[in-house]
Amino acid sequence: MRKLKTKKSVLKRFKVTATGKILHRPMHQDHFNAKATGKQRRLKRRWLQITGAEAKAIKKLLPYT
């Protein structure tokens, strides 16, 4: 059986932890942040966990991580 290809766009956008959890950054964080409150800006800095069916689909696109 041939090797599976990793989707590079998914690899750049998501991070897989050592325990297998999938993390992503919040959207709308690069532009127009002067309008946002300080709390909103702080919350955008962190990585958020993806659960359920979305995580399962992303793991299929990242076969060797």
* pLDDT value of position 28: 87
Helix-then-strand count for the chain, H and E: 3, 3
* pLDDT value of position 49: 97
Among residues 15, 63, 24, the alpha carbon closest in space to that of 47 is found at 24
Helix H or strand E segment including 50: strand 48-50
Quick check: helix, strand or coil at residue 62? Answer: coil
Q: Is it the case that residue 65 has pLDDT exceeding 90? A: no
In a domain, 64, yes or no: yes
Quote the CA–CA distance of 48 and 23 in Å, as a whole number: 5
* pLDDT value of position 8: 95
For 4-53, the pLDDT digits (tens) are 999 999 999 999 999 999 999 998 888 899 999 999 999 999 999 999 99
In a domain, 45, yes or no: yes
Let me know: does 4 contact 63? Beta carbons within 8 Å.
yes
How many structural domains does the chain have?
Answer: 1
Task: Find the domain containing 52 and state its range.
Answer: 1-26+39-65
